[in-house]
Structure 1
Amino acid sequence: MKTKMLKLNYKKIIILLTFCLVFGAKNFIFAEEKNLILGGQKGWPEFSVSDSITFGKGRFGYKSVQLATNARKKTDNTDLLLDFEKASVKDSTQKYYTEKNDLLVIFNNSVMGHGCGLSRGRGNGIKLKGAPGTIFGTEGNTGSFAIEFWLKPSIAENGEIIFSWNSSRTINSYVMYQMILATFVDSHVEWDFKNIFDGYTDNKGEVVLKSYSTIVPDKWAHHVLMYNEETGLLEYKIDGHTEDLKYLTSSGHERGTIYQPVLGLPDSITICQSYTGSIDDFRILRYLAGDVASSKTESIQSLSGEKYDTYNVTGGRFETKPVMTVPGAVLRKIDVISSVPPQTDIRYYIRTGDNFFDWTDSYPEWKSVKPGEPIEQMSGKFFQIAADLFPDGDGRNTPSISEIKLTYFEPPLPLAPARVTAKAGDGYVDLFWEYSLDDTAAGYLVYYGTRSGEYIGTECIEGVSPVRAGNVNSIRLNGLKNGAIYYFTIATYSKLDSKIIGRFSDEVYARPGKAR
């Protein structure tokens, strides 16, 4: 007897397992594989979070996501800083105010940070007036100073002006013209100082520094002009290499009386006047006697080092906006096209859910995923992708992502019901339909509204649109206005997940009213 019962139980178990496998296989077979591509030929969507991230040129010529280089930050020595990180061009130190500006800010083409300035060769660049206490807003000895910027000229044409300041100084009732000017001359940069260095009389008080290197159009280069009041050295560097220098001393060398820069009446400075090309992180640094380098200061000697092209060693992060698929979509894997130089790294994260409006920074939880490896137990109507990018230990190289492809499965959508009819009555409409032929159908949603294709009705006693009718093939909607026309459509929801809703049926309409 026990043996017969065991055999019967085994048969039941086998039948049950067979049913589950067939039913599961059937639904898996009809589930549709989908691909969602970010980047690549389609380009990247707008990010909800973008920290130290910019765009560059990636694999196959695609736009890639990569780390942004470090934009300049103001320190105690910063006299002026134009970082071009916002749409409006302003001095970040708020020590200089803008009198006139013809520069534009463009993003994702910068060399430092997110944005850079663009001068189109028309207008007067940007004109700035310094407040008292700034180098060009104060009469007298400047002390040690540096003028630093990144430049990418389009043509480097003769006469284009990068920087200019004009004023005058009175000595013993004699008015002496003063000028500081940086221009392009024969594909080189030339700095011209007239009557700036007190006591210097050679060449009628004029000092000229000229770049040894030829300026290459459409290429970023780092420029810095420095004066050291302790040695009298005026030096010009491009990309960390000395282009020209001069000791402003009585001997013309390191020893002798030092000729200090003394400015006359305060006047405005102009940057990128009649210049065509891009400029980034323009700043002026001032070092008064007794300055001590600290975490908030930067020594003038540090500017004489190599060019600044490092990335933030803590890395950067981006998060996409939630991407909508369908309810019940199951994420299977991600594949990426990327470049990961030695010591750099990229880490990917995914989170999913059915309603992103209640999401926070930490909910739903981000789950770490690896490209090409299977992803388990991640489903929902919305997907969100994030990535952390890390440079190498020296902050010299950045990884980049050209494309992210998500592979997921959409559950089968249940078929809509057929032959929907509507019959109007006094303040109500009766709806009838045939059951869906889909065996995954669990019930029906009734959508209604007063405009064709817009089912946003609210007055029905049974509820706002859509009304959940359940697994029936008719319903009466009460509380409708007599004389008004209403439009109806019906959709099936799935027994796999009630949030999986099929396509709409054919639309029908009816106008409630009292019987005549």
Structure 2
Amino acid sequence: MKKIIFLFVVLFFILNQIFLRADDAFIGFGAIKERSWGGIVRDWPSIFKMSDVVKVRGPRGMLGIRLSDNFPEVKDNTELLLHFDQVSFGRIMVDGSSYSLKYSDVYPSINIKVMGDGACAFQHIGSSIELTPREVAQFYPGKKLGSFTLSFYLYPTMLFDGETVISMLAPSIRFDNQLTGFKLYFKDNRLKWSFLNIFNNRTGGFNENNREISIEEVDPSPIYEWHHHLLSYNADRGIMTLFVDGKISAIKWVTDNGKEDGTILDGRLDNSLTVPLIIGGNFVGYMDELLLSRGAKNTDKEVKDGRYRENGEIVSDVLQFKTGAVKIAKIKWDSVEKNGTAVRVMYRISDNYFLPDGNVQKKETKDFHKTDAGMRLRNEPEWKMAKNGHILEDKGRYFQWKAVLYGTNGMYTPILKSLNLYYEEDLPPSKPILLSAIPGDSKVNLKWVSNKEDDIAGYRIYYGNYSHNYFGKGSNFGDSPITVGNTTSIELKNLINEKVYFFSITALDKSGQESGFSKEMIARPSKIYEDQ
């Protein structure tokens, strides 16, 4: 009974393996080869371009591909940009032309960050960055306050009332030594902006309703979490808007009655505000990607706070197979696709070379024609969508693949962990078997065995007057070598009697590949064969 059970288990295992490997079966009889990208031990070689994607290290050193960080970029309206990628005690990289670094005692954060190489760590009360505004800056003393947007990522590690994140405050004689300027601080665990003695009525005066203009976020800020915060002020409409993680959190009308139908207040920085813009000072936590720019953002669609690009792609070089044409067996990849993200792999293959990127011409020519995708070579193959691990039967000599990564609302990215290409080589034909070289009068009749390969296009006849030197001339078919069709015999005429000739043949396939030389045979034409 035990033997029967054992045999049954063995049989079940064998059958199970057969069915499990059914998907890995290939059609044809060539050698199966593999080219691989990514994974634990491989890099991503032979890549033509990477657009909005980056390499990323994963578990056990796995080198995958994900969408690029959605870095803020310096533009014409950028006043200040702090990536916090190069932070050291006393030094910090400042992008933008409106501010210069005056003082810094913050620390780099390599592990706790949103994007890039690092973030900024405010490790204790008093840790701060001080930036001096230049005359072109929005927050320069005595300047009329125009539309602006200020955004950043914040990761608090403790919260208390009065914890100040950003400030630019100074006492003013004009206001009886009261403070003027602005600050961003925590109150009841919520971020609150306060503008003091900045917005006045159109006559230049202040009243009690507009000495302090404040706006605060609706929801409390959690600790130990990254969130994106943005303040937008539209001077033309007289409105302040707070966004948290790309969504509107609060709106404040900067008018004499605090309503939309009120008269817009005039914002102006006092001449006494000759202090630096301070980041931190009374905040404990982390900050990343601070951006101050001219101009306002009024709707959710204008605020793209996503951590990742919306989509990107990695495109291989045009790969040429050494053995000539091959048959693609399948393309298989390993990816992580969560929260609506996706990886789509496409490929194209041709017997003729094509450019890795066809968008290189602007005008139609005899070689280029206009398509929906731009100017393309007329013989350029179209992209085909691949299904992960599905059997393919496309043939060609030149191959290219690309993977398109789609994120979800800028908050999530897929990861392409590895990609494997399996293909079936079209091997050169085997050496043909030359059966006989029968001499005649000024001629030799050659016979050989037909090759068994199903893609034989013909044969090539080599002849000459020295062994393995096949440079013969003058036959009725021309000089050596002679290419003939898929036949098994040929009669070479116009040869010189009593002169020795050496013969060898090769086989040719439809991909243009040539076999090795057959066994050499020798024949000497002669007049004595004139009756044969």
- Give me the TM-score of the superposition, normalised by structure 2: 0.51
Q: Deviation at 1:132?
A: 0.6
- Alignment partner of 1:65 is 2:59: no
Residue number in structure 2 paired with 1:497: none
Residue number in structure 2 paired with 1:283: 291
Residues 113 and 119 in structure 2, CA contact (< 8 A), matched pair in contact too:
no
Residue number in structure 2 paired with 1:471: none
Q: Alignment partner of 2:198: what SS?
A: coil
For residues 395-431 of structure 1, give each alpha carbon's deviation from its aligned partner in whole angstroms, at most 9, with x where no partner exists.
8985541333466899xxxxxxxxxxxxxxxxxxxxx
Given candidates 390, 396, 402, the residue that maps to 2:417 is 402
For residues 344-383 of structure 1, give each alpha carbon's deviation from its aligned partner in whole angstroms, at most 9, with x where no partner exists.
65336799xxxxxxxx999xx999895554787889xxx9
Q: Alignment partner of 2:259: what SS?
A: coil
For residues 229-261 of structure 1, give each alpha carbon's deviation from its aligned partner in whole angstroms, at most 9, with x where no partner exists.
334333323234443343333323234443322
Task: Give runs of aligned pairs for residues 66-105 of structure 1, distance below 5 A.
Answer: 66-68=66-68, 70-83=70-83, 89-101=92-104, 102=106, 104=108
Residue number in structure 1 paired with 2:243: 237
Letter in 2 for 1:99: K
Q: Deviation at 1:336?
A: 0.7
Structure 2 distance, partners of 1:137, 1:403, is: 52
Q: Alignment partner of 1:171: what SS?
A: helix
Q: Deviation at 1:178?
A: 1.8
Residue number in structure 1 paired with 2:212: 206
Residues 82 and 288 in structure 2, CA contact (< 8 A), matched pair in contact too:
no
Distance 1:89 1:350, change over 3 A: farther
Q: Deviation at 1:272?
A: 4.0
Q: Alignment partner of 2:102: what SS?
A: strand
Given candidates 268, 273, 276, the residue that maps to 1:268 is 276
For residues 124-176 of structure 1, give each alpha carbon's deviation from its aligned partner in whole angstroms, at most 9, with x where no partner exists.
34322221121123423212222222x2415252254321212344428x544
For residues 36-63 of structure 1, give each alpha carbon's deviation from its aligned partner in whole angstroms, at most 9, with x where no partner exists.
5623x66977999643114789999988
Q: Alignment partner of 2:275: what SS?
A: coil
Letter in 2 for 1:157: L
Residue number in structure 1 paired with 2:8: none
- Give me the TM-score of the superposition, normalised by structure 1: 0.52
Task: Give runs of aligned pairs for residues 33-432 of structure 1, distance below 5 A.
Answer: 38-39=38-39, 50-54=50-54, 65-68=65-68, 70-83=70-83, 89-101=92-104, 102=106, 104=108, 110=114, 114=116, 117-122=119-124, 124-149=127-152, 151-158=153-160, 160-171=163-174, 174-198=176-200, 199-202=205-208, 205-264=211-270, 265-273=273-281, 274-280=283-289, 282-287=290-295, 299-302=296-299, 307-309=304-306, 315-318=311-314, 334-338=331-335, 339=337, 346-347=344-345, 370=386, 371=388, 372=390, 373=392, 387-389=403-405, 399-405=414-420
Residue number in structure 2 paired with 1:511: none
Letter in 1 for 2:127: N
Distance 1:42 1:344, change over 3 A: same
**Structure 1 spans left out of the alignment, 5+ residues:** 1-27, 288-298, 322-326, 352-359, 411-516
Distance 1:61 1:154, change over 3 A: farther
What is the alpha-carbon root mean square deviation over aligned residues? Answer: 5.6
Structure 1 distance, partners of 2:314, 2:331, is: 16
Percent identical among aligned pairs is: 23
For residues 166-224 of structure 1, give each alpha carbon's deviation from its aligned partner in whole angstroms, at most 9, with x where no partner exists.
2344428x544224221233432122222222344437933332221122345443322
Residues 180 and 197 in structure 2, CA contact (< 8 A), matched pair in contact too:
yes
Distance 1:132 1:109, change over 3 A: same
**Structure 2 spans left out of the alignment, 5+ residues:** 1-28, 318-322, 350-355, 359-379, 426-532
Q: Alignment partner of 1:207: what SS?
A: strand
Letter in 2 for 1:316: G
Structure 2 distance, partners of 1:91, 1:303, is: 28
Structure 2 distance, partners of 1:89, 1:386, is: 38
Distance 1:391 1:190, change over 3 A: closer
Structure 2 distance, partners of 1:168, 1:190, is: 20
For residues 95-132 of structure 1, give each alpha carbon's deviation from its aligned partner in whole angstroms, at most 9, with x where no partner exists.
21222343537599636xx4563325246343222211
Distance 1:48 1:139, change over 3 A: farther
Letter in 2 for 1:276: G
For residues 277-327 of structure 1, give each alpha carbon's deviation from its aligned partner in whole angstroms, at most 9, with x where no partner exists.
3422x222334xxxxxxxxxxx543568565339656x4344799xxxxx9
Letter in 1 for 2:416: I
For residues 460-494 of structure 1, give each alpha carbon's deviation from its aligned partner in whole angstroms, at most 9, with x where no partner exists.
xxxxxxxxxxxxxxxxxxxxxxxxxxxxxxxxxxx
Residue number in structure 1 paired with 2:489: none
Distance 1:252 1:278, change over 3 A: closer
For residues 4-33 of structure 1, give each alpha carbon's deviation from its aligned partner in whole angstroms, at most 9, with x where no partner exists.
xxxxxxxxxxxxxxxxxxxxxxxx99x998
Distance 1:391 1:206, change over 3 A: closer
Structure 2 distance, partners of 1:50, 1:269, is: 38
Q: Alignment partner of 1:141: what SS?
A: coil
Structure 2 distance, partners of 1:126, 1:275, is: 13
Distance 1:155 1:50, change over 3 A: farther
